[in-house]
Structure 1
Amino acid sequence: MTLPARAGLDAVPAYRQGRSAPAGASKLSSNESPHPPLPSVLHAVQERLGGINRYPDMSAAALRAELAARYEVDPALVTVGAGSVELAAQLIHAVAGEGDEVMFAWRSFEAYPSLVRIAGATPVAVPLNAAHAHDLDAMLAAITSRTRLILVCNPNNPTGTVVGAEELERFVAAVPQDILVVIDEAYVHFDRTGTYGAGIELFRRHPHVAVLHTFSKAYGLAGLRIGYAIAPAEIAENQRKVAVPFGVTDLAQTAARASLDAEDELAVRIEEVVAQRDRLHSLLVDAGWPAVASQANFVWVPAGDRTEELEELLSAGGVIARAFPGEGVRISSGSIEDIDRVADALVRKEATV
């Protein structure tokens, strides 16, 4: 007997998590924060543990109110989800279905094409330009009558490149207003180009823009899974219709609110990650690898047919990175000790040549 299977799922690969690291190695494969939870955040979560027999507030009203006040928007425009990836899925399901198209740059966030196919829509991947950044002209040219949503990952994962605020403004203005433009700013806290916050300003000026943020990266809450979106009212309402009920736990909501109260402490940690990211880039370039200057919490090395060589070199030195076979290696920024380990791995290679 063959059990029924939904048509089309053969084209949807299972998401591949970054490899775990053995004891004594550095896990730089998943763009996680290298820092443990802040004591104030940990304390807030611990205080809520006694209530985990109860369902969370499905609307996340308190957190949404804080975020709405921060960005000076109506709380009804703020939605929450289990990380920005779930929010991206909500937005896709909210506007696209069978016969519709969802566009994104490629390579970009690995989950995008799968999320689109799961929604029954057709993914349209537009190649990055020679600088490993979004080719906005090509994306505009790829718009059709079937296009419903365009995802712009900014900074882009895995390349770390940024679409400047003026470029993004021109792009959004050129996209027809019946197409939703989603600015995925999961890594915006690490951007030092001056485009920080461009997504929110675009949301204020254009009726067809939504913005995604996450607490997984800069805030260090990857294990609790929480992010938020700010979107036009009708889109936000449809997001709530397609969201998984009770998808964001009380502990995650509590940690997010405590993190918003601890941003001065978090800012110090973010600057440490940025400093180690820039150091990582310099180490790779000095060792002869074609690393791309990054504005995220990782560095992309488009190693091409040398991808396996670089992955094995790092692994031998106790560094677990994320390899995309035949394309390149993404190495997360970690602690000083993590990047020291990368440096040692690269020096050993030079010593054997």
Structure 2
Amino acid sequence: MVSPRAAVSALPAYRPGRNPADLAREIGVPRAVKLASNEVAFPPLPAVVQAISQVAGETNRYPDNGAGVLTGALATRYGVAPEQVATGCGAVTLLQQITQAYVEPGAGLAYAWRSFEMYPLLAQVAGARAVQVPLVPGAGGGPADTHDLDGLLAALDDDTRVVLVCNPNNPTGTAVRRAQLEAFLDAVPPSTLVVLDEAYREFVTDPDVPDGTELMRGRPHVAVLRTFSKAWGLAGLRVGYLLAEDPAVAEAVRKTHVPFSVSMVAQAAAVAALASEDEVRARVDEVTAERARLTAALRDRGQPVADSQANFVWLPLGERTAEVAAALESRAVITRPFAGEGLRVTVGTPEEDDAFLAAFDEVAAVAAARG
């Protein structure tokens, strides 16, 4: 019998957000609300739809393997050379490429925990040593939800090749501030690559949360990871990119690129999205305004919701998490539970969020009646 590697056999399956149409059919309702995958609720930008239609007739040909037009547009947007840019099939694929490029079996891959759930899987597949540093309570106290940069720095050793800093952090939505992050970056040894995973950067409203593309300047061991899946609305097309101060970092990541993995349609859509930045910013403003309303509504209900800098909020429900998530699903609302820890709720439309709040109130009332 042919068997996969032991590390692969031991991998848990990735759990995507549940399909709302499937849930609606299962429980017999016309529609279910999905607030599980941090997608934006807006339809694709008009320019994106137009770009897709223009290239649809060319998809019998391979895409540009180097994504030259997209790379050039990103370089112009961020004021870097094209050699400092690497594109990939979503940010998560770029994370895999980074791991392949820099982390040998047995070497260290460091990150906070809880954070993006792919981090430990990347370490496991690479045969790397996962260095997990627990989150700590934020400035206001309460449940652990914030990066412990001092603890992360203390956990590094000579064999730590890559450090991943998810800022804002997924799934807690919290973010580290400029002074702490600058001090951390300057203290990390130059032989260790720091990747600032900024999938949710566009939703940041706190001026003290730094833009990683500014902090990487003059720091050759720092790279920034971004995606078109969230604010830019291209989750279904899978486009991510890495910006590196040292072009050699981007070159190493490009070497582990799977050929033609960023499709022709995805490249055209991403270029069109970049050209529509004003529209994207207007949409982001709507999301952050709705985030503030949802946060206030949950706090009014006694929930200790931290200030989120992403397009989701975090409910630290602890041992009640799985039970609450299941009860919400039975009321046609899909969220993202992290068993024993908390519930991540994507900021949806006002109507979707009102449906979530109504379902949450029903669940709370049933729990109160049970005593």
CA contact (8 A) 1:317 1:344 kept: no
> TM-score with structure 1 length normalisation?
0.96
Pick closer, same or farther for the CA change 1:93–1:19 going to 2, 3 Å. same
d(CA) in 2 for partners of 1:337 and 1:313? Answer: 19
Amino acid at match of 1:219: W
CA contact (8 A) 1:290 1:303 kept: no
How far off its partner does 1:195 sit? 4.3
- Other-structure match for 2:251: 237
How far off its partner does 1:248 sit? 0.2
- Other-structure match for 2:178: 165
- SS of residue paired to 2:345: strand
How far off its partner does 1:63 sit? 0.8
- Other-structure match for 1:114: 121
- Consecutive unaligned residues of structure 2, counting only runs of 5 or more, are 25-30, 139-144
CA contact (8 A) 2:177 2:209 kept: no
- Other-structure match for 1:263: 277
How far off its partner does 1:350 sit? 5.2
1:126 partnered with 2:125: no
CA contact (8 A) 1:287 1:346 kept: no
1:77 partnered with 2:76: no
Task: Return 305-314 or 125-134, whichever deviates more.
Answer: 305-314
CA contact (8 A) 1:107 1:127 kept: yes
1:179 partnered with 2:186: no
Q: What is the percentage of aligned positions where both structures have the same residue?
A: 49
- SS of residue paired to 2:169: coil
d(CA) in 1 for partners of 2:185 and 2:66? Answer: 30
Equivalences, count: 352
Q: Among 43, 50, 60, which residue is 2:50 paired with?
A: 43
After TM superposition, the structure 1 = structure 2 runs for residues 258-337 of structure 1, keeping only pairs within 5 Å, are 258-337=272-351
Amino acid at match of 2:193: L
- Output one character per residue of 1:105-136: Cα deviation in whole Å (capped at 9) or x when no partner: 00000001111221221211110002211001
CA contact (8 A) 2:317 2:342 kept: yes
Task: Return 76-85 or 305-314, whichever deviates more.
Answer: 305-314
Task: Return 213-222 or 15-24, whichever deviates more.
Answer: 15-24
Q: Among 196, 203, 206, which residue is 1:190 paired with?
A: 203
Q: Among 24, 30, 36, which residue is 1:29 paired with?
A: 36
CA contact (8 A) 1:186 1:214 kept: yes
How far off its partner does 1:196 sit? 5.5
Amino acid at match of 1:16: R
CA contact (8 A) 1:287 1:350 kept: no
d(CA) in 2 for partners of 1:335 and 1:165? Answer: 31
- Other-structure match for 1:8: 7
CA contact (8 A) 1:109 1:153 kept: yes
CA contact (8 A) 2:201 2:211 kept: no
Amino acid at match of 2:120: P
d(CA) in 1 for partners of 2:80 and 2:364? Answer: 54
d(CA) in 1 for partners of 2:114 and 2:71? Answer: 32
- Output one character per residue of 1:243-263: Cα deviation in whole Å (capped at 9) or x when no partner: 111110010010000001111
Task: Return 232-241 or 218-227, whichever deviates more.
Answer: 232-241
1:90 partnered with 2:97: yes
Task: Return 57-66 or 115-124, whichever deviates more.
Answer: 115-124
d(CA) in 1 for partners of 2:281 and 2:327? Answer: 33
Amino acid at match of 1:217: K
Amino acid at match of 1:102: L
- Other-structure match for 2:355: 341
Task: Return 46-55 or 16-25, whichever deviates more.
Answer: 16-25
How far off its partner does 1:176 sit? 0.4
Task: Return 263-272 or 213-222, whichever deviates more.
Answer: 263-272
Amino acid at match of 1:30: S
Pick closer, same or farther for the CA change 1:176–1:277 going to 2, 3 Å. same
d(CA) in 2 for partners of 1:99 and 1:347? Answer: 48
1:64 partnered with 2:71: yes
Amino acid at match of 1:283: A
- SS of residue paired to 2:174: coil
1:145 partnered with 2:158: yes
